[in-house]
Structures are given as structure tokens and as C-alpha cells.
């Protein structure tokens, strides 16, 4: 039994490859094991929580990747340009890896690691919103609005909910216009 030298990171990598190729439904320990050249139970040496933990790790990895992409897009930009770039980057990531993005919601109840990754993601958004002079609770509401729009658009478009012929890129530009206008004229109660 030649030792394969598996690590948890590699297991997650195989899981992601499977998801990319065949969708979140195809993420099974048996399939991951086959791909890693190992028997199914051996995976428990690296991912002790079994399938549930593997899904959790996938969600953490994907959230982190997405946060990185958003941070990269925001770098060196400000104001409307930053908002537009981050929104485009969000959708671009989801479009490049639709199944991967679709696997995000499959995560079980959030835990510390996932919360940390999500916090990084939210941090980028909050930073981008800072130039609009939003502070305290209003910044939170604005960030939630941003995330809702970004996630909704990503989820619906990768899920095939937008059937008509109209160009998705144009829809995105309209959304950017609406969002940036809304942020500039944010309701101050």
C-alpha cells in the first residue's frame, strides 16, 4: 500500500475539481477517494468529520477565494469605480466556477472558520463603501444591500434563472448604475 501523501488541502482540491466538473451533487467521499487513489475510509484520516466537514472546508475555501478576488478588484480603485469593479469581480468568479459557487449554500450551519472567511469578504465591501461616508449601522445596511445584490445576481444567473436573450453584462451595468446612485444618495435617517 504505497503511501499517497495526502493532505487535507489536497482532499479539498479534489473535492473542488469534482464539483467543478459534475456539480455539487457529485461530491461524495467515494468519488473523492477514487480521484485521490485511495480507499474511502482513508479520507477520514485527513477529514475526520467525514462528508459534512469536507463540505464545510469547501465552503471555507471558496469563500476565501472569492474574498481574494474581490480584494484584488478593489485594489487601487475608489468610489464608484471600486464598487463596479468588485461587483464585476463577484459575478466573474461565480461565472467562472458556477458549480463551485453553487456549492456554497450547501455548507452546514456556519462555524468559526467560515465566519472568518466571510468576515474577510465583508471587510472588502465595507472598505469600498467607506468613501461614501457611510458609518456605523448605515454602513452595515449598505454592505448587506451590496451583498444581496451581488449574491442574488450570481446565484440566479449561474442557476439558469435568467432565460431570456438579454445580455447579462448589460443587466450588470444597470445594476451597477442603480447601486452606485443609491450609495451616493444613501438615505440618512
Residue 65 in contact with residue 118, Cβ under 8 Å? no
Which DSSP string corresponds to 114-175?
A: HHHHHHHHHHHHHHHHGGGT--THHHHHHHHHHHHHHHHHHHHHHTT---SSS-HHHHHHHH
CA distances from 179 to 45, 87, 116, 155, 184 (A): 47, 10, 26, 18, 9
Residue 112 as a binder of its own copies (CB under 8 A): the answer is no
Q: Among 43, 109, 120, 132, which residue interacts with its own copies (rule: CB under 8 A)?
A: 109
Q: Using the minimum distance from each CB to its own copies, give the nearer residue, 36 or 179.
A: 179
16: nearest Cα among 104, 125, 86, 146? 104
Query: Does residue 168 bind DNA (CB under 7 A)?
Result: no
Which range, of 28-36, 37-45, 67-75, 110-118, touches its own copies by CB under 8 A?
Answer: 110-118
User: Segment 18-77, which members bind DNA (CB under 7 A)?
Assistant: 28-31, 37-42, 44-46, 50-52
Judged by CB under 8 A, the chain residues 64 through 103 that form the site for its own copies are: 102
Give the span between the Cα atoms of 118 and 126, in whole angstroms.
Answer: 12
Cα–Cα distance between 41 and 30 in angstroms, integer?
9
Nearer to its own copies, 38 or 183 (CB): 183
Pick 9 or 25: Cβ nearer its own copies: 25
- Altogether, the residues listed in the chain come to a count of 189
Residues in the interface with DNA (CB under 7 A) total 22
Nearer to DNA, 38 or 83 (CB): 38
Three-state SS at 80: helix
The footprint of DNA (CB under 7 A) covers 1-6, 28-31, 37-42, 44-46, 50-52
Interface positions with its own copies (CB under 8 A): 102, 105, 109-110, 115, 118, 137-138, 140-142, 144-145, 147-153, 155-156, 159-164, 166, 170-171, 174-175, 177-179, 181-183, 185-187
Amino acid at each position: 500500500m504505497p503511501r499517497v501523501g495526502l493532505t487535507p488541502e489536497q482532499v479539498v482540491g479534489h473535492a473542488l475539481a469534482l464539483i467543478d466538473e459534475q456539480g455539487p451533487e457529485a461530491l461524495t467521499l467515494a468519488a473523492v477517494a477514487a480521484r485521490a487513489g485511495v480507499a474511502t475510509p482513508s479520507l477520514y484520516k485527513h477529514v475526520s468529520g467525514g462528508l459534512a466537514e469536507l463540505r464545510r472546508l469547501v465552503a471555507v475555501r471558496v469563500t476565501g477565494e472569492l474574498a481574494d478576488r474581490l480584494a484584488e478588484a478593489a485594489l487601487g480603485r475608489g468610489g464608484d469605480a471600486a464598487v463596479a469593479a468588485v461587483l464585476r469581480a463577484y459575478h466573474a468568479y461565480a461565472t467562472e466556477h458556477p458549480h463551485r459557487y453553487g456549492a456554497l449554500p450547501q455548507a452546514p450551519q456556519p462555524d468559526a472558520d467560515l465566519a472568518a472567511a466571510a468576515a474577510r469578504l465583508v471587510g472588502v465591501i465595507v472598505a469600498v463603501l467607506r468613501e461614501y461616508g457611510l458609518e456605523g449601522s448605515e454602513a452595515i445596511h449598505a454592505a448587506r444591500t451590496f451583498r444581496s445584490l451581488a449574491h442574488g445576481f450570481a446565484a440566479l444567473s449561474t442557476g439558469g434563472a435568467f432565460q431570456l436573450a438579454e445580455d447579462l453584462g448589460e443587466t450588470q451595468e444597470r445594476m451597477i448604475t442603480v447601486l452606485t446612485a443609491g450609495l451616493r444618495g444613501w438615505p440618512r435617517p
